[in-house]
Amino acid sequence: MALLTDEQLVARAQDGDRCALSELISRYEQRTYNLAYRLMGNHADACDAAQEALVRVCVRLHNFRGDSQFSTWLYRVVTNTCLDELRRRGRTRCTSLDEALPLDEGSVPRQAADDADGPVEYAERHEIQAAVQRAIGRLPDDYRVVVILRDLHDLSYQEIAAVLGTTLGTIKSRLHRARQALRCIIEDTEGKRLDIAG
């Protein structure tokens, strides 16, 4: 089954082949979680959203017509699932017990750090990742989605347009504005940090 293309697996799964469906889901399980994590902002919510999205994919696979790549359709389902949940909550964020413990001077992971890096390198990398994730989380939903799909999941502009059901020009415009907004958020945060340190 691993040698079959997505299209072949989709066709078999639509004909009732459970092994093909299982293979298709396992191919995209990690990518589904990664996208959900970037959109939801924490592990617990990402797991819930990814699971919900994969259930929707299984239930609605018979509706997939093949007008786009399966991966594009899947990203659309995951994105819509996450955005629906965020809208439902009114953007109220919950903190998972699996996430890092925030402190005044950064954060400390609740699990042991990887021994591959020393403490300084780990802390710097973790601080940068957390700052970028927080900055992305402050973007409006439309901007956050295009930044995540383009810069973190490496989708093409055409794929993003297909996922979001909009035009290529709209995607380019949103991405440009999103990156400007992200730059402003990071510069503003950095400026405030320097003011506090000074």
pTM passes above 0.85 = no
Q: Quote the pLDDT of residue 113.
A: 43
Among the ranges given (113-127, 146-160, 181-195), the one the predictor scored with the smallest mean pLDDT: 113-127
Specify whether the CB–CB gap between 60 and 1 falls below 8 A: no
Cβ(17)–Cβ(60) below 8 Å? no
C-alpha span between 36 and 182 (Å, rounded): 19
- What pLDDT was estimated at residue 86? 86
Give the mean pLDDT of 161-177.
93
Contact by Cβ (8 Å): 136, 147? yes
Cα 174 from Cα 158, distance rounded (Å): 13
Instruction: Say what the pLDDT of residue 78 is.
Output: 93
| Percentage, residues of the chain above pLDDT 90 | 44
pLDDT, position 112: 47
- Mean pLDDT for the stretch of residues 20-42: 91
Q: Which of the two residues, 106 and 37, has the higher pLDDT score?
A: 37
Higher pLDDT, 124 or 75: 75
132 or 177, which is more confident?
Answer: 177
Which residues, at least 6 apart from 93, have a Cβ–Cβ distance to it below 8 Å?
41, 42, 137
User: What average pLDDT does the segment 50-65 reach?
Assistant: 91
Q: For the chain, what percentages of helix, strand and coil (3-state, to nearest 5) are there?
A: 70, 5, 25
Instruction: Quote the pLDDT of residue 26.
Output: 92
CB 170 within 8 A of CB 158: no
Please, is 128 exposed, middle or buried when counting C-beta atoms within 10 Å of its C-beta (0-12, 13-18, 19+)? Answer: exposed
Q: Which two tokens stand for residue 185?
A: 């958020």
pLDDT tens for residues 102-141?
676 777 666 544 446 667 777 788 887 888 888 888 999 9
pLDDT above 80: residue 69? yes
Q: For residue 87, is pLDDT > 90?
A: no
pLDDT (mean) for 189-194: 64
Give the per-residue pLDDT at 144.
Answer: 92
Mean pLDDT, range 75-103, rounded to an integer: 76
